[in-house]
Structure 1
Amino acid sequence: MFENAGSRLKAWLVAGIGTAAALALAGVLGAFGARHEPMQLLAPTGRIETGQWLLRPLRAYTAEGENLYGAPLKPGARALVFEVEMTNRTAKSSKDYFDVLQASQATVDPSSKPFIVLTRDSTLSPELHPGMPERMAYIWELPGGSAPPASLDLTVIRKTYKQRDNLYGLPGWFNPAPAGTLTLPVGSGPDTADIQP
């Protein structure tokens, strides 16, 4: 009789401790969930700081043709283009801008990477020198037969400078995180005077 009572008491205690632990965990997770804030909406006409880069959005449009700023597009392909003025805010020339802008899945296939071109001379993925604003074009090739999007939705990624990283003890830009989202209307075609063969 006492053995049965002891077993029952033990089972209730274990169940009670398990329930209390589950409630505590749910409370902690709920508290973290409540702290999650929506991403900042960035002004499409303002300047955006990302740590390494100062960005000034210019325009977004779709265009067709093989010679769009010299980007190696397929013949007859349609492309989505985002032009932006970029200023390198660091002390060294850099081309660490491949992930500073991420197009939304609704706009382009997330597995497709853009061609990034210096518009003034059609140099593909150049190093940008410190303190010199340069006009760049991010060019995504759109799938054949797809309708051009009405808007371009981008997530802007920022990084933090650390004098020493935890792995190698060297300085650099680390911890990429979203700075906010940017939405621009998509026009049709570039100014032909801007395009360099």
Structure 2
Amino acid sequence: MLESARSRLKAWIVAGVGTAAAIAVAGVLGAFAARHEPLPALAPAGRIETGQWLLRPLKAYATAEKYTYGALLRPGGKALVLELEMTNRTAKSTKDYFDLLQASQKTVDPATKPFIVLTRDSTMSPELHPGMPERMAYIWQLPDGAAVPASFNLTVISKTYKPRDNLYGLPGWFNPTPIGTMTIPVGAGPDGADMQP
């Protein structure tokens, strides 16, 4: 009887020590996992793969024109424009590019979405067809009275393809994740040359 009580007590102590050790290890691993590694810097004149899209930034500039590729600016307002070549790498036409680029908080209000325009005919937010590179313009309106920056920072977002999502069992692109940042020099106007790769 005494022997079985001792063995039970020993088992509880071992289990308690094991549980405490497991909690301590989980806490240490959690602390390491919580550390965020900085995002890689992407070359602004290179090609960038984001899953759905192949991007090639071309040029960035500021404008105070009332209309920029058909997008109407506020009276007296200024905008930052990023022109880039975009190629749809998927099997069907899509306009799933609204959250592809996020401008830094220092430059524009992050709650402000850009106008996105096809430059060749000023079509707003068109569907882009598979495998056909198109020149697009992302147009962010600057806050009133804001100075035009010499450069601006963008975060590039990628999504992952799933043949079946968990909710509807349908294919699609999910889980938007930042894959890198790039700093784009801001030129004087739309007539400047494209960046060289």
The alignment's TM-score, normalised by the length of structure 2, stands at 0.83
Aligned to 2:105: 105
Corresponding position of 1:8: none
Which letter maps to 2:49?
Answer: E
Write the deviation string for residues 3-53 of structure 1: whole angstroms up to 9, x where unpaired.
xxxxxxxxxx9xx9898787445312223135x422111111110001110
Which deviates more from structure 2 when the two are superposed, residues 36-45 or residues 131-140? Answer: 36-45
Match of 1:147 in 2: 147
Residue 46 (structure 1) aligned with residue 37 (structure 2): no
> Structure 1 residue runs of 4+, over 4 Å off?
16-25
SS in 2 for 1:154: strand
After superposition, residues 1-197 of structure 1 pair within 5 angstroms as 23-34=24-35, 36-191=36-191
Residue 29 of structure 1: SS of its match in structure 2? Answer: helix
What CA RMSD, in Å, does the superposition of the two structures yield over aligned residues? 2.0
Residues 123-149 of structure 1: per-residue CA shift (max 9 Å, x gap): 111111111100000001111211111
1:56-102 C-alpha deviation (Å, 9 max, x unpaired) = 00111101111111102122311111111000011111100000000
How many residues in Structure 1 have an aligned counterpart in Structure 2? 177
Report how far residue 183 of structure 1 moved.
0.8
AA of the residue aligned to 1:84: L
3-state secondary structure, aligned to 1:155: strand
SS of aligned partner of 1:62: strand
Q: Secondary structure at the match of 1:189?
A: coil
**C-alpha contact 2:65 2:78 (8 A) present in aligned 1:** yes
**Counterparts of 1:21 and 1:159 in 2: how far apart (Å)?**
34
Q: Report if the CA contact (8 A) 1:93-1:130 is conserved.
A: yes
Amino acid at match of 2:103: A
Which deviations, in whole Å up to 9, do the C-alpha atoms of 1:157-190 show, x marking residues without a partner?
0011111011111001111101110111111111
CA contact (8 A) 1:65 1:75 kept: no
TM-score (norm 1): 0.83
